[in-house]
Structures are given as C-alpha cells and as structure tokens.
Amino acid sequence: MTDSLQNGKKDNILLEVNGLKKYFPIQKGLLRKVVGYVKAVDDVSLYVREGETLGLVGESGCGKTTASRSIIRLYEPTAGQVLFKSRVLSPDGRPRMVNLLELNREQMTKVREEIAMIFQDPINSLNPRMTVADIIAEPMVIHGKYQKGRSEEIIISLLERVGLRADHLRRYPHEFSGGQRQRIGIARALALNPRLVLCDEPVSALDVSIQAQTLNLLQDLQKDFNLSYLFVAHDLSVVQHISDRIAVMYVGKVVEMASSEELYANPLHPYTEALLSAVPKPDPLYKSERIIMQGDVADPSNPPSGCYFHPRCRYVIDRCKTEAPAFREVKPDHWVACHRAEELQLKGI
Amino acid sequence: MENPSQPAATATADQPTDARPADAQQTLIEVRDLKVEFNIRGGVVKAVDGLTFDIKRGQTVGIIGESGCGKSVTARAILRMVPKPGKITGGEILYYRYSRYPRKDGKSQDIEVIDMTKLDPDGELVRQIRGGEIAMIFQEPMSSLTPVYTAGTHLNEAITLHRLIPLKRLGDQMVEKIVEYRRVTKEEAREIAIQMLRRVGIPKPEQRVDSYPHQLSGGQRQRVMIAIALSTEPYMLIADEPTTALDVSIEAQILDIMRELQQTANMAIMFITHNLGVIASMADEIVVMYMGKQVERAKVVDLFYNPKHPYTQALLQSVPKLGPKTGARLASIEGMVPDPLHLPSGCVFHPRCPAFMPGKCDKLIPQWNKVGENHWARCLLYEE
C-alpha cells in the first residue's frame, strides 16, 4: 500500500503520511500487563499538497484527532512514515523531504516551527493566566525568535489580521467570546509563519454565524500566507466548504480520499455514501433517502474481521467478512478501500 | 375514547383509557408574552423577553438561535425549572391539560387550563406534569444520567412515579369504567423499561437494562434518555439540543426514532437546536430567537424559502451547504453577539444588521408584526 501511494501522480507534496499507526496499550492488573491494544489509528495514508486543504472527516472515536496529533508527534506513532517537506532542516534552505518519525528531539522542535496547530476548544487551549500578547508571543519565545519591538509589531499585525484590535493585547482570554478566543488561537498558530496548519475541529465549538466568520478567515489566511491545512472535522458540510480534497476515516483507517467535488458527487465507499445521506439538509422540502446505518461504530480495541465496516454495510458480501480491502487508487486521485468499489453504483449529493 | 394509534407499551394487559382527544390540532401549550429575567451582580439580564407562541398536539415547534439567545431558558420556564437567580417576571404559559386518569373527586375529564407561571415550582401538581405529561431530554447525554445507577433504575424511577395501572375494569360492553388505579410494581416497571429500550432501538435490551451509563456509547445514552422521557407517555416532549453531541449517523437514527414515536403517540415536540439542517427536517413551525427576543415565527417552508427578518436571512446564508461546490465565501453576520447586560438601543440586532436604517433601528423598538399567513417578524422594515 505504501508503494502504491508513492507511485501515484504527486507533485508539490508538502506532507505525506504512509501506513501511520498508533496503538494505545490496554493495561490491567498490578503489573500493568498489556492485555490488548486500542487501534486508534490503524494504517492511515494520505497526502497534502502545498497550498491546499485536506479535510479529514469521520465520526467521533474514529481516530481523526489521534492521526493529526501523531503526525506532529504529540503522540508517538507506533509505526509508519510521515514525510514533510521541511525548509528549516535542510542545510541549503531548499525544501527537502524528511521523515518526522526519524528526527531527534531537537530537530523535531525545530520542525514544529513549520507545522502549527489550531485546537477545538478555544477555552482550554489558551492559558488563562497569560495575556493575549504573551500567548501569541510564546511560540516565538520558545523558538528563540522573539525580539523586543519587532516581534510586538508582528503580534499587533497578526491580531489585526485575524480581526482583533491592538488594544486587546493586554487582556486575558476570559474577557473574550468563543469566536474571539478561536481567533487568538489562529493568531498564535501563525506566529512563526508556518507552512502547514493542523486544524483540529476549529469551528465545531462555535455558533453558526461565528463559524462562518472563522471559516472565511481561515480561507483568507490560506491565500495570504500560502498555507496548507489538514482540516479535521466531523461536520461534512463544513469540510466540503473549506476543503480541496477530503479523506474519510472509519475506525482508524482512511476508507476514501478524493477531491471534494468528486467525493460528494461520486462516493465510492458505502460508508461515505451513508454518511453523506445522513447529513441533515437545511431545506424543508428536500426529500432525502436516508441510509440509516445500523448499530454503532466498531470498537477499535476489538474491531470486526475483514473490512471494519462490513457489519453496518448494505452491500456486504462474504469476501468483506474475511479479507480486509486494500487502499487503492481506483480513479486518478480517487482512493478507496472497498472490494466492490468498481461494481457499486453509489449515490452522492 | 379509544385511540387505536396509541402504542401498547405496557406489558400488562390493562391500559388506562386514554383521554386524549383525536383532534390533533388542539392547543397544548400557549406561551403569551413570556419574560424571564436573571438578576445578577451587575444588572438584570433579560434572558427571555416577550415570547409568544403555541404548540398544538402532534405538532413539532422548533426554536432556533445562537447560544445565549434564551432557547433553553424558555424550555425550562415551561417546566418551571429556571435555574436561580432566574425568575419568570411576566407573561403566562397556559397548559391545556387533558386529564389522563379519572380524577379522585369524580369530576369529568374536561380540559383543565393551568397557568404554569402561577404554580409553585416545587408543588405536587407541577411534579405530576413535569416528566409525566411534559417530558424533557437534555443536550448532554453524559451528564444527564446518574453514573451510579443503571439504565433500568433511571427508567423505573420515571415509570413508577408517573404510570398508573387500572386495578379493576367493569363492564366491557359499557363505557369503560375504571374504579381505581394502582402504581406499577417493580417487576412491571422493569418489563416496561425493557420494552421502551427496545422501541428506541437498543440492541439486547434485556441485558442493557442493567448497564451503567459508562458502559453505554453516547448514542445509546441519548437513546436511554429518550426512553426515560417517553416511558411516561407524555403529551409533549421538550428536546433541548438532543443530537448536538452526537455523530450524524447516530443523529439520523435518533431523529427517526423521535419522528416515529411522535406519529404513533400524537405527541407534541418542542425542538430546540441551533442546527438548521436538523430543524428543517423535524419542525412544522419555527420560532427564531435573538438575544432573548423572538425575531420571527413562521411555518417551516416559509421560514426557509421566504425569511423576513434580516437575522433569519443571514443565519440561513451563513450555513455551508453540501452539494456542488460554488467556491463562494460564506455570508457571515458581522460583529459579535452583544453583551446581554448592555443591549443595544432600539432593535437589538441593529449593530450587525445588513439592512440597518440609521435613525430608525437604533431608536425605535420594533413591534411584533404580521408579515404573512402564519408568519410574524419583529423588524422595522415591516412597520408603517
């Protein structure tokens, strides 16, 4: 699988993840004996091109957050390869692919300058005892880039860029609303001029009108700073709106990856089809044929045999129960892990 | 009056005769100019300010708005559960009570009109209504169940408190006459609990009834909450963001269950949400709230296809839609929700309103105007 991903047509790849796995051990008893593993991320492969947004969707517990955190090694991955085109680690300043999982601590800290993160919870991800100025300055301080005067100017311009005012600098997080706090988080992520931003559900805690403002802001910043986003979310309409390409996860695996138009118009995986049909449409006259998936999401510590989706799948055949499908490129730039991808006629939107 | 569509949820053969009238269009709840205030340090927050709507039997009324607009306070006011220091300071909530069981004093089973705002919030009557006749499900399925009790215990509590079983039934040929009622026994309650869990689609309900909340998934917990609420066969269900914490596939299941149960039991639903997609598929009528004020009220199709208030229009446009990609930016509402202690003058929406009329919107308080058949809006655009 790893090979096939690399053989695909890929130019301008900024981030390439191959076979990423993260297993959390389940320990029991006095000696903390390992009795099993929660396979939170089980063989995830994806790539992000420069300047594009890859949406990562899936239901809660499917491992999207774990995957994004494993990429930047906030969780130490169990196996796999994370290739990132780094500038800071290359001796001549020309971007060069490095495997993040092989870096030592010092190099990892350095490369994090180029990869920023925006978190879901705008309340808990800001230190309540630091002022806005300190919060945004902290990445610069950690990376030894803070210069009096000059950095303050950068901070003010960042604040204004995300729609806050310079007189907010000396205030504390609790003085702001949820949407404003998320803007502070965005300004902090941009402090070091990153190239890749991992957005972990950045708008799901916000109200509809604030959500729209924040999505617009993220799109504007992407143009201005030539950012690439890995956009993790569970809301399919939000993901479709912001993403160029979308990867769908189910129980630790990416089951489908395609451009956002293609995925919504011609889904190839039954899970994608069911997920799309389940999204409530803001139109009272829309007559939906909803596919109600039976049962709950599989347990990642005790996944079903074969294809993990087979107990809930409408199109299940015997092969699905025994043989796990490979993640393969069925059409150009359209990847899917389903045995019946070619024969099924699935409905999009 | 025998209602054939009434679901047989009890294990026991004898059901209480249902006094529910067959006419679905009777008003069940009438809210008139409701005001709820929170007297906090620093001032008075008008959490709900002049809300007027009614809910008919078998109908679903959606209440939408952003966080802090007073949706949940409205729901709690109906059940007299407004948290301190909140107080109902005006208006009335009329509950048209259809007595389910013959009254002890022998009076007929006429509709009794109860003004909920006048009741003692801890009194016997409100406790009969709350949970028994008007049930509620909450947003957080995690924290609404007690972690030390099983799903069955939760259900038993509601069932033994609110369900009665007729003790005797005389003369089957004549009009049914029930002499006395008794409470449900423990064994019967368990039986009902298992049936309720089966109805909301929990697999292996015989085993699941003894599960503790932490052993259930989020979707299952919310289904247990729905089972608790519906186990008492309420006339109305207040659903406060029932699916917000859930995934889309589980959400679709839960909404299906609610729709199905509503049809079989002719139950009214007050559906509170900020998700416009969910409300479009559930509600018959929608009330839009902004900063405690009701800004628009209309039938669901009118509201989505012909919104009148600029806030409703902006809200509908700011939702990303699935489908062919347009690449366009989302129309967002500029600015922020104002501080509830320092509300803007005039129309509270005027600082963010795209149709702001200087000298008018910031001075005059808009009235509740009829803008069409069953369609009202609170906006100066529609005033002479």
If you measure CA to CA, which chain B residue comes closest to A277?
B249
**Mean pLDDT across chain A:** 89
pLDDT tens-digit profile of A285-300? 887 677 877 777 788 8
pLDDT band with cut points at 50, 70 and 90 for residue A9: very low
Which ranges of A226-326 would DSSP assign to H, the alpha helix?
A: 236-242, 260-265, 270-278, 318-322
> Which band of pLDDT confidence, cut at 50, 70 and 90, is reported for residue A234?
confident
- What is the token pair recorded at B54? 């009614």
Q: What residue in B sits closest to A290 (Cα-Cα)?
A: B252
Q: How confident is the model at residue B103 (pLDDT cuts 50, 70, 90)?
A: low
Segments making up each domain of chain B, as ranges: 5-290, 311-321+330-382
- Cβ distance A86 to A72 under 8 Å? no
Interface contact A66, partner B, CB < 8 A: no
Q: What is the pLDDT of residue A115?
A: 94
DSSP A278-292: HSPPS-TT-------
Give the residue with greater pLDDT, B46 vs B9: B46
Task: Quote the pLDDT of residue B18.
Answer: 44
Q: Which of B322, B326, B333, B336 to mutate to test the interface with A (most CBs of A within 10 A)?
A: B322
Mutate which: A168, A201, A208, A210, vs B, most B CBs within 10 A = A208
Q: Give the residue-averaged pLDDT of B157-183.
A: 68
Instruction: Kindly report the backbone phi and psi dihedral angles of residue A298, in degrees, each rounded to the nearest multiple of 5, phi listed first.
Output: -60, 155
How close A238 comes to chain B (CA, Å)? 6
| B330–A281 CB contact, under 8 Å | no
Contact between B248 and A207 using a beta-carbon 8 Å cutoff: no
DSSP character at residue B145: S
CA of B280: which chain A residue's CA is closest? A284
Give the ipTM of the model, two decimals please. Answer: 0.80
pLDDT of B40 reads 87
How far apart, in Å, do the first and last CA atoms of chain A sit? Answer: 29
**pLDDT for position B288:** 95
> By C-alpha distance, which of A155, A211, A204, A157 is closest to A179?
A211
Q: What is the CATH number of domain B5-290?
A: 3.40.50.300
Residue B207 identity:
Q
Token digits of residue B21: 């009238």
In angstroms, the CA B238 to CA B271 distance is 6
Give the least confident one: A67-71, A91-95, A258-262: A91-95
Residues A251/A298, Cβ–Cβ less than 8 Å: yes
- The per-residue pLDDT for range B260-315, each reduced to its tens digit, is 888 888 899 999 998 888 999 899 999 999 999 999 999 999 999 999 999 999 99
Could you read off the pLDDT of A176-231 as tens digits, one per residue?
888 889 999 999 999 999 999 999 989 888 888 888 889 999 999 999 999 999 99
Provide the pLDDT confidence category of residue B166 given band limits of 50, 70 and 90: low
